[in-house]
Amino acid sequence: MAISPHLREYLTGCGTAYDEIPHDRTFTSAQAAQAAHVSGNHVAKGVMLQAGDDYLLAVLPASRRVDLNRLRRSLGRDVRLLKEPEAAMSFPDCEFGAIPALGAAYGLEVIVDDDLMREETDRDDEIFFEGGDHRTLVAIEGADWRRMNGKSRHCAFGMLN
């Protein structure tokens, strides 16, 4: 399948240059980072949450996991992880479990971990994320990533795996 049609249309509409990075089939964002030979700190993964009647996409480095208590404190409301079948409904053109970490492309409220919003000073200032299947990462410049997520809430909610 490669990159989802919805995501491709969104990136093109934003005028964002991107590369598709094929890799062997994986089941987690951390495995995708390893298969594509990139740092898990530069791979953004999306985790679907529910806060009351609202759905949110939490985006954090693949090398981390969501600290729900920290996120609850930052948001000032209760949140829970969505089960995969519930999360999949928000991404109809993606393979089950391959959530692109660009919630705006799907009309979702997004909260981004601070680690992904920091400007890198080295040559590796590129962000990678699932393209909608389990065999493709999308790579965009870090500046484009921060621009597309600049209006999203961000706070520190990731903890090391």
Mean pLDDT, consecutive 10-residue stretches, the chain (161 aa), reads: 90 95 93 93 95 93 95 94 89 92 93 84 75 95 89 91 76
Judge whether 58 and 154 are in contact, CB under 8 Å.
Answer: no
- Full residue range of the structural domain in which residue 122 is found: 5-160
The predicted pLDDT at position 81 comes to: 95
Q: CATH number for the domain including 131?
A: 3.90.960.10
Instruction: With CA atoms as reference, report the closest residue to 5 among 100, 130, 93, 129.
Output: 93
Judge whether 63 and 40 are in contact, CB under 8 Å.
Answer: yes
Judge whether 77 and 122 are in contact, CB under 8 Å.
Answer: no
CA distances from 32 to 93, 122, 128, 155 (A): 19, 22, 10, 25
- What is the model's pTM? 0.93
The predicted pLDDT at position 125 comes to: 83
Domains in the chain, number: 1
The predicted pLDDT at position 120 comes to: 60
The predicted pLDDT at position 84 comes to: 86
The predicted pLDDT at position 85 comes to: 85
Judge whether 127 and 44 are in contact, CB under 8 Å.
Answer: yes
Instruction: With CA atoms as reference, report the closest residue to 49 among 99, 92, 6.
Output: 99
